[in-house]
Amino acid sequence: MTPESIIAAKAAEAIKALYGADVEASTLQVQATRKEFEGDFTLVVFPLLRISHSTPDNTGKAIGDWLKENAPEVSDFNVVKGFLNILLSKVFWNELFSDIAGNPEFGTLPSTGKNIMVEFSSPNTNKPLHLGHIRNNLLGASVSDLLKASGNNVIKTTLVNDRGVHICKSMYAWEQSFGGATPESTGKKGDHLVGDCYVEFNNIYTREVKELMAGGMDEDTAKKEAPSIKAVHEMLVKWEQGDPEVRALWEKMNSWVFAGFDQTYATLGISFDKVYYEHDTYILGKSLVQKGLDMGVLVQDPDGSVWCDLTADGLDRKLLLRSDGTSVYITQDLGTAERRFSEHRLDSHVYVVGNEQNYHFQVLKLILKKLGFDWADQIYHLSYGMVELPEGKMKSREGTVVDADDLIEKMYEEAKATSMESGKLADMSEEEKDRLYHMIGLGALKYFIIKVDPKNPMLFDPKESIDFNGNTGPFIQYTHARIRSILRKADERGISHSVSDLQPDLDLSAKEVRLLKLLNSYPQKIAEGAAAFSPAVIANFAYELAKEFNQYYHETPILKEENESLLKARLVLIETLASVLVKAMAILGIQLPDRM
């Protein structure tokens, strides 16, 4: 039970004893006492006046007197304008300490029995992953782990966008300008090579449009008549028709990209339980379109195109099939959603996609609802803000994106430079140092991105993220290393410690009680973060816990303590704190080193 629920239960007993009224403990308002007042938790008295038929202060005093007399968990109280501020006893805090430290499953919430699918990443196979993909992947992975920690069965999935005009653009440019280049012949990762092709297509296309305009053609016509764009559309038609040569080139270049993606995913610690490919799913929705026509939900125009009229819902008409019978992107999403819910018996489906697609998911849910799928209400679009750099936005076709692999390498170099400045790694082997630099660099990158609420846009600054002070990943990593260092020194001195050493009458300091309060809030933070689909809740909890420990460490002589019981208790406390930090940061995909 939480402190709040214990106080509420005792207060309900007090109300029964004092006023003869039965009150559900869950209806009582108990909250952490505000910092400007003395107390641990506060009971709001005002709703009880209809029972007590007395003043707020008299009611608060009566309940406080009963609790102090009859509840060993309560040591004292004060009443301020209708708020009963309760101070909990050392008996309570020591019991809570033992419960937390003695529970290896602390923080793991009970099973909900729910199946939740989380789709994230979903890259195009015409370019390498970039900074925007990194935020998507880190959010998707951490939200998945957060939902698991809150008791759900989670299926991590991705839909690879491996067909379409954008893919053919890279294929065309490779044929025209790259002379048979391969990842092996160039020494480049396959996704980088294909990304170069995509940028080159834009160069070819831009030149052609300028040449046509110089010959007197208007810009709109030039963009449609440029030889390269016409060739790309012809290539897409051939792909749809199963042309062997086009399909062979498509498979070859996609295989290069997949190999490159896999390397980046492995470095970031990203994995999926199920992978879907657009070339397998793009026709899934066609049967649903026919169903919609039969139901009268959809309409077919004279040219053969199929639409859903959403104007009565405050939206517009949405195209579902082109006049030539080919599907559009939302058609695929309709079919994929129907298959996923039926195959996996999902209770919920979370799409991790940037906020530029808000309208798309609004339409998707509405059309599914009109088609009779009640589970459409269980679709949730985790809409996140874009990532920008100090120099502005990124554009893939112009080659101005921040490449994920380059950024990861930059973070490694920043971590190496910062760690070497500290001068604390002299006795580490080069292999140990290398692992540490990767751990710190990735920790900095992941934490800096995840600590921002998903709904908000963010500015990413590599140098700021690697700071060993402040709200950063390396600060939390260093805190964990500091705790492990203290515990190693205790072992070297032969000071053993375990939960069984904890005494029920320990006089814990205010700082130690503060740490226990923070530790005890961890399961609540798991539930809160999962409900909001926001791993930022866990990131900022970990920072508060690390910050509170460092203040405690500077004020408390842990290893210099002469009282053996208190010394052992402090070692158990900081070891428990380190364990919770490891659990919390693992949800964010961040490892904590034992030495830094």
Phi then psi dihedrals of residue 160, to 5 deg: -85, 120
Predicted confidence band of residue 466 (pLDDT cuts 50, 70, 90):
confident
Q: Which pLDDT band holds residue 2 (cuts at 50, 70, 90)?
A: confident
The model's confidence at residue 282, banded by pLDDT at 50, 70 and 90, is confident
Query: How much is the pLDDT for 391?
Result: 64
> Kind and range of the H or E element at 221?
helix 219-225
**How does strand 74-80 pair with strand 115-119?**
unpaired
Compute the average pLDDT of residues 186-196.
96
Alpha-carbon span 176 to 172, nearest angstrom: 6
CA distance 399 to 388: 15
Report CA-CA distances (Å) from 41 to 30, 86, 342: 7, 5, 47
* Encoded tokens for 237: 């038609």
Indicate whether 283 pLDDT > 50: yes
> What integer best gives the mean pLDDT of the chain?
93
- 61 vs 340: CA distance, rounded Å: 58
Taking only the tens place, the pLDDT of each residue in 514-528 is: 999 999 999 999 999
pLDDT of residue 324: 84
Sheet with 41-44, strands from edge to edge, namely 30-32, 41-44, 83-88, 74-80
In this prediction, residues 132-149 reach a mean pLDDT of: 96
Query: pLDDT digits over 228-272, tens only?
Result: 999 999 999 999 899 999 999 999 999 999 999 999 999 999 999
Task: Give the pair of three-digit tokens for residue 542.
Answer: 């970990």
Measured distance CA(584)–CA(575) in Å, rounded: 14
Average pLDDT over residues 367-383: 97
Is the confidence at residue 31, as pLDDT, over 80?
A: yes
List pLDDT tens digits, range 296-340: 999 999 999 999 999 999 999 999 998 988 888 899 999 999 999
Residue in the structure block whose two tokens are 């002299």:
426
Confidence of residue 393 (pLDDT cuts 50, 70, 90): low
Angstrom distance (rounded) from CA 122 to CA 176: 28
Q: What is the pTM of this model?
A: 0.90
**Nearest by Cα to 477 from 454, 498, 446, 519:** 446
Is the model's pLDDT at 399 over the cut of 70? no
494: left (phi over 0), alpha (psi -120 to 50) or beta: left
Supply the DSSP symbol for 402: -
The average pLDDT across 562-576 equals: 95
CA pair distance 25, 192, nearest whole angstrom: 60
User: How far is it between the farthest Cα atoms of the chain?
Assistant: 96
Q: What is the DSSP code (8-state) at residue 386?
A: P
Whole-angstrom distance, CA of residue 287 vs CA of residue 305? 15
Please report, to the nearest 10 degrees, the dihedral formed by the alpha carbons of residues 512, 515, 520, 525 taken in order: 170
Place of tokens 């050493």: 501
Burial of 78 (0-12, 13-18, 19+ CB in 10 A): middle
**462 pLDDT above the threshold of 90:** no
Tell me the pLDDT tens digit for each residue of 143-175. Answer: 999 999 999 999 999 999 999 899 999 999 999
Q: Which two tokens stand for residue 354?
A: 């940037």
Q: Each residue of 533-546: pLDDT tens digit?
A: 999 999 999 999 99
Assign 353 to helix, strand or coil.
strand
Q: Which long-range contacts (CB under 8 A, 24 or more apart) does 242-249 make?
A: 246/171, 249/171, 249/174, 249/175
Residues of the chain with pLDDT > 90, as a percent, come to 85
**Three-state secondary-structure class, residue 319:** strand
Contacts 24+ apart (CB under 8 A), 499-502: 499/98, 499/101, 499/102, 499/572, 501/565, 501/568, 501/569, 501/572, 502/94, 502/97, 502/98, 502/101, 502/568, 502/569, 502/572
Predicted local distance difference test score (pLDDT) of residue 394: 44
**Structural domains present in the chain:** 3-88 (3.30.1360.70), 164-274 (no CATH), 406-587 (1.10.730.10)
Lowest mean pLDDT among 108-122, 284-298, 423-437, 468-482: 423-437
Single-letter amino acid, residue 306: V
Residue-wise pLDDT tens digits, 44-66 = 999 999 999 999 999 999 999 99
What is the mean predicted confidence (pLDDT) over 20-25? 96
Instruction: Give residue 400's pLDDT band: very low, low, confident or very high (50, 70, 90).
Output: low
